[in-house]
Amino acid sequence: MFALWIECFKMGLRELWRHRLRSFLTMIGMIMGVSVVIICVSVVQGVKDSLIGDIRKAGKNMMFVFTEDTREGIGTIGVQVHTNLSRDDAEAIELECDGVAMASGVQGTNVLVVSDTSTATAPVTGADHKYTAIRNWGIEQGRDLEPFDVIASRRVCLIGQTTMRDLFGDRNPINRTVRIGRISLKIVGILEPKGVNPLGMDEDNALIVPLPIMLRDIMNRREPDAILCSAKSDDDVELAVTQITELLRQRHKLGDADMNDFRVSTLKEKEEQARTISNQMTLLMFFLALVSLMVGGVGIMNIMLVSVTERTREIGIRMAIGASTKAINRQFLIEAGVISTAGGSVGIILGVSGAAYISSAIGVEPLMSPAIVGIAFLFSAGVGVLFGLLPARRAAGLNPIEALRHD
């Protein structure tokens, strides 16, 4: 019985080879379907991975506490001067929450920064000396902010790679000064390159200044909008969020009925979001690809039906000399299966190379899992067999006498 399978397989291959062009054209549907599945899944998964990588890179188990306006009638659009958070809150979080390793008040704004030769608009962040540690951001040259810089409100700053290039070109900016409004700041350190964040913003376009300078001298306000925290470990993030929430509710003297006047958001949430969105995308792509596989399958069925009609005489001859219905059925089923798996295999090759090409074009590492390739292959074979059933049955059901007389 096994021998008959092999014979049918050989005959199928020979038949397809004799109709090379037609076989190839029939395969195109499968090729498209399978390559699209592989390209989409691996690129989307690759994008997801790089997104999550970027999110993780943004900081160590990072959490943000933002002020949230609970007063009626006041929107959060525009410059928000009022804040519910304070530097004392940040200090309390760091001292009292065991899930939290570090906390720093942060305040950011976009301002015009002037050097001796150029001007540039840069996002300036006011923070304390723990900021670089929380952001997991190294110093390339010079020194980090020190506690004393913050306490004494010294007019110093750290500069990011992009801002440095914009303001100083190729010159070394260490110990040079930049000016924001009337305030002159001495550059004491250069931040390591950090790249583009998931929102597409250049993290290297940055200027870090001590928080008091930012609040008092640049923005003329008392307390920061946000507190940046880092949990002790990845597992502590949820605990830390609960602790921070409890502590701040207590410190802000909120009753049980009051809403939080702040919002805690974690990178883990963002990571989950990225994961969810990309998984949904993958699913969507998968269904689209499924449709194209089905279309490919119908194409195969169509050609196989034509082929059955065209080869009626051949089928008659085979039957006359002793082919059973099973043998005829199998022959056509195998032909359909071979077309679709061959198409699937070409699709896999195209898909893998296409995914590599597209990924490199958009700058992510494609995530190629053997499972996807395996599933795509099995799926293409399945589609061929499924859509080969009808033509095969039709071929096997022919009346040998009429088939022999057919021309």
Partner 1 sequence: MTDATSITPSAIVSTIDDPSVPITVKLRDLHKIYDSGANAVHAVQGLNVDIPEGQYISIMGASGSGKSTLLNVLGALDVPTRGTYHLANQLTSKLSRDELAALRNEYIGFIFQNFNLLTRSTAVENVELPMVYAGVPTRKRREAALSALDKVGLADRANHLPSEMSGGQQQRVAIARSLVNNPRVLLADEPTGNLDTHTSGEIMKILDELHTKDGMTIIIVTHDPGVAEFTERVIILRDGKIIADQKTPRCGGPAVPDVRALSMSAPET
* Chain residues in the site for partner 1 (CB under 8 A): 3-4, 7, 11, 14-15, 18, 313-314, 316-327, 400-401, 404
Q: Alpha-carbon torsion 215, 219, 225, 227, what sign?
A: negative
Closest separation between CB of residue 396 and partner 1, Å?
9
Closest separation between CB of residue 371 and partner 1, Å?
37
Closest separation between CB of residue 24 and partner 1, Å?
18
Q: DSSP string covering 149-210, please?
A: HHHTT-SEEEE-HHHHHHHHTTS--TT-EEEETTEEEEEEEEEPP--B-TTS-BTTS-EEEE
Quote the longest CA-to-CA distance of the chain.
105
Nearer to partner 1, 3 or 199 (CB): 3
Closest separation between CB of residue 35 and partner 1, Å?
31
Nearer to partner 1, 26 or 35 (CB): 26
Nearer to partner 1, 21 or 321 (CB): 321
Which residues, in sequence order, are CB contacts of 40 under 8 Å at separation 6+? 282, 285, 286, 288, 289
Nearer to partner 1, 83 or 329 (CB): 329
Q: Which two tokens stand for residue 356?
A: 């590599």
Closest separation between CB of residue 16 and partner 1, Å?
12
Which residues, in sequence order, are CB contacts of 114 under 8 Å at separation 6+? 178, 179, 180
Which residues, in sequence order, are CB contacts of 63 under 8 Å at separation 6+? 100, 228, 229, 230, 231, 237, 240, 241, 244, 264, 265, 266, 267
Nearer to partner 1, 256 or 407 (CB): 407
Q: Which two tokens stand for residue 65?
A: 């506490």
Closest separation between CB of residue 14 and partner 1, Å?
8
Nearer to partner 1, 9 or 66 (CB): 9
Give the DSSP H or E segment for 114.
strand 100-114
